[in-house]
Amino acid sequence: MSMLTRRLQVLIDDERHRRLEAEAARRGVAVAVLVREALDAAYPTTADERRAAADRILAADPMPVPDVAELRRELEELRGRRG
C-alpha cells in the first residue's frame, strides 16, 4: 500500500455518518478505511480493472473449443471470404 500523504475533508449528513460509524465499528476499522475502499470500488485503477477482468475470465464456465484442425479449417474459410 502506498504511503498516505494527502488529507481530504468531506462534509456529509448525519445519516451517512451514522452508517459509516456503524460499519467501521462492526468491522473494527477506521471510517477513513471505509472511505478509501469506497473510492477504490467506485474509481478503480487500470490495474484493478485488469485484475477484475482476469478474475471474471478465470471464474467463467468452460466452453467447448474445436480441435486445432477444425479451427484451421474455419480460419481458412474465413480468409477465403475476404479475398
pTM of the model: 0.57
- Each residue of 8-38: pLDDT tens digit? 999 999 999 999 999 999 999 999 999 999 9
Contact 24, 33 (CB under 8 A): yes
Residue given cell 467501521 in the structure block? 24
pLDDT value at 1 more than 60: no
The per-residue pLDDT for 44 is 84
Cβ neighbours of residue 18 under 8 Å, at least 6 residues apart? none
**Spatial distance between the Cα atoms of 63 and 67, rounded to a whole number of angstroms:** 13
Q: Compute the Cα dihedral for 7, 9, 14, 16 and give only its sign.
A: negative
Q: In degrees, to the nearest 5, what angle opens at C-alpha 64 toward C-alphas 59 and 65?
A: 110
